[in-house]
């Protein structure tokens, strides 16, 4: 192995290796962190889905319907690109607990969350899709500090769930809450300066 070869898996590799529980938690954590952009007053609307992850998909379709209904009850009108992206993250959640659809959802949510965090600290730039994909495979260069933090949280969620240690899901929830507070703070700051 050459000295420049990294043994740390990148985000794309971690998603490719994850099991159903890891994939669902990764996608859900991204959605949870970004939810204030769609539903500023949201608190525990995604709890049914977290419970579904904890129970390895038991009752997943019903829990998904419950969460969608709860979010709809508190969601603001979708009048910004950011809110529309979060809505697509929620709408993209698969109704079946299977690795293929969950992997697609995790991948979609990963990219959307990184884009949203990039948008929060900088105007969208030409070639944004390429910048975000490079971020997921190589590192956070060029995406800004908020997207860098989001990338680290995404990687950490997948890592804590992959190692199978007790408390992994609790740590994923904590990372989601931490990221949600960051988004809420940025959103409040933007509202005050608008």
pLDDT of amino acid 129: 79
Contact 28, 158 (CB under 8 A): no
pLDDT at 47 over 90: yes
User: 157 lies in which domain range?
Assistant: 11-193
In a domain, 123, yes or no: yes
What is the arithmetic mean of pLDDT over 90-105? 98
In a domain, 172, yes or no: yes
Other beta carbons less than 10 A from residue 130's beta carbon: 10
pLDDT (tens digit per residue) in 100-136? 999 999 999 999 999 999 888 865 666 777 888 888 8
Q: Where are the alpha helices (DSSP H) in the chain?
A: 11-17, 20-34, 47-54, 60-74, 81-91, 99-121, 128-137, 145-162, 168-193
In a domain, 145, yes or no: yes
Q: How many domains does the chain have?
A: 1
By CB atoms closer than 10 A (0-12, 13-18, 19+), residue 119 is buried
In a domain, 113, yes or no: yes
In a domain, 4, yes or no: no
pTM: 0.91
Quick one: pLDDT band at residue 5, thresholds 50, 70, 90? very low
In a domain, 2, yes or no: no
In a domain, 66, yes or no: yes
DSSP designation for 143: S
In a domain, 98, yes or no: yes
pLDDT (tens digit per residue) in 13-36? 999 999 999 999 999 999 999 999
């Amino acid at each position: 192995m050459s000295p420049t070869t990294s043994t740390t898996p990148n985000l794309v590799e971690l998603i490719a290796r994850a099991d159903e529980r890891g994939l669902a938690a990764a996608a859900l954590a991204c959605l949870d962190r970004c939810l204030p952009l769609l539903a500023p007053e949201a608190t525990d609307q995604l709890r049914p889905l977290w419970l579904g992850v904890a129970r390895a998909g038991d009752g997943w379709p019903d829990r998904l319907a419950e969460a969608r209904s709860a979010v709809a009850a508190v969601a603001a009108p979708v009048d910004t690109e950011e809110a529309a992206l979060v809505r697509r993250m929620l709408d993209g959640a698969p109704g079946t607990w299977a690795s293929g659809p969950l992997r697609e959802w995790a991948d979609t949510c990963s990219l959307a969350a990184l884009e949203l965090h990039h948008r929060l600290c900088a105007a969208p730039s030409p070639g944004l899709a390429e910048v975000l994909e490079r971020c997921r495979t190589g590192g956070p260069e060029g995406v800004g500090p908020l997207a860098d933090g989001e990338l680290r949280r995404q990687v950490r969620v997948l890592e804590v769930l992959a190692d199978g240690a007790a408390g992994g899901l609790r740590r994923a929830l904590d990372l989601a809450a931490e990221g949600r507070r960051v988004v809420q703070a940025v959103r409040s700051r933007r509202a005050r300066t608008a």
